[in-house]
């Protein structure tokens, strides 16, 4: 049974625990499959993702975004945080 709405997330987005089973109709069995499919897409593309969420399947439209810049995620030295 495929539902076109999200029972746990009203914004129709992927959530922790979703298992991706299809992307644009192509079966995803592992992380390598997912990367191979996404390598054929570009930032801004809209893809259809089917996930197993709990005991039911859902289709979610996803717009691909750029990978976050890892340099933005650097640690802050101890004692240098400013509190407001």
Structural domains of the chain, ranges and CATH numbers in brackets: 2-65 (2.30.42.10)
Q: In the chain, what's the furthest Cα-to-Cα distance? A: 53
State pLDDT tens for residues 35-57: 999 999 999 999 999 999 989 99
- CA-to-CA dists, residue 83 to 48, 67, 68, 78, 79, angstroms: 43, 30, 26, 13, 11
pLDDT of 77 above 60: no
Q: Which two tokens stand for residue 33?
A: 């499959």
Task: Answer whether residue 65 shows pLDDT above 70.
Answer: yes
Predicted TM-score (pTM) of the model is 0.65
């Amino acid at each position: 049974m495929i539902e076109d709405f999200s029972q746990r997330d009203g914004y129709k987005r992927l959530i922790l625990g979703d298992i991706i089973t299809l992307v644009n109709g192509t079966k995803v069995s592992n992380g390598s499959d997912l990367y191979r499919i996404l390598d054929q897409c570009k930032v801004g593309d809209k893809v259809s993702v089917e996930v197993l969420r709990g005991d039911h399947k859902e289709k979610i439209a996803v717009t691909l975004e750029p990978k976050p810049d890892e340099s933005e995620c650097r640690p802050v030295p101890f004692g240098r945080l400013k509190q407001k």
